[in-house]
Amino acid sequence: MKSVVTPIHRAQENEIPASSEDCIRTINSSGADDAQLLVQSLREAGLQNDQQAIWTTYPNLHHATLELVRLYSISWPTAEPEGDSAVVKAVKTAMEMVSEGVKNGETDRAHVVANYLSGLVSIATDIVAVHAWGFVRNRPVERLHEFGAGFREWATSGAFTEVRFLAQDSVTKVEVDGTRMKLLCAIANTKDVGLYSRFS
């Protein structure tokens, strides 16, 4: 029996970007240690103590964070004009939601997990509103589709000369909600997904 290998979602004619005017950020496809860059960003934001406390007490949340980093990397920009890292923004939001919850008496495991995951999946809007395209010699070749290979794996295995992030014209609430749920299931364990569903 012969195996057939197909490329990852090669660009279809109707989805190829007409121009790169909407390009939010361009990166080359070289790798970087995204987990270390995330920790450095949290340290610079004064969240090192929160990060250590949460990730040490709840290794499941640390694992969910690392899965988010693997899927989208530190390079994925927000849909906002400044185009900061969507992953860093989501992790900061997660830590802020836990802190706010603790102030409101939500100190049990269920609430901490639900609040943290709510912050992580806040990245859903940025995932839907921004598409990553692999380019070879200024020609779009392939678009990264959600929940396939991780971003870094895709960017380095596709033999692209660069990767560009392009803003999308329209984003629907249904797409964002669906992406949020798919992302939650991709990064968190079953019990934590249940806690999110019950306490968020």
At residue 97, does pLDDT exceed 80? Answer: yes
- State residue 26's pLDDT score: 55
Task: Parse the chain into domains and list their residue ranges.
Answer: 19-199
**CATH number for domain 19-199, candidates 1.10.8.290, 3.40.50.300, 3.90.1150.10, 1.10.3210.40:** 1.10.3210.40
Question: Quick one: tokens of 98?
Answer: 């836990």
Q: Whole-angstrom Cα distance, residue 173 to residue 193? A: 21
Which residues, listed in sequence order, are joined to residue 140 by a DSSP beta bridge? Answer: 135
131-172 pLDDT per residue, tens: 889 888 888 888 888 767 788 888 887 678 888 888 888 889
How many angstroms from the chain centroid is the CA of residue 33?
Answer: 15
H/E element, 163: strand 162-167
Other C-beta atoms within 10 Å of 48: how many? 13
CA angle 6, 179, 28 (to 5 degrees): 55
Position 1 pLDDT exceeds 50: no
Type of residue at 175: E
**pLDDT more than 70, % of the chain:** 82
pLDDT tens per residue across span 58-84: 999 999 999 999 999 998 998 887 768
When pLDDT is cut at 50, 70 and 90, the band that residue 12 belongs to is: very low
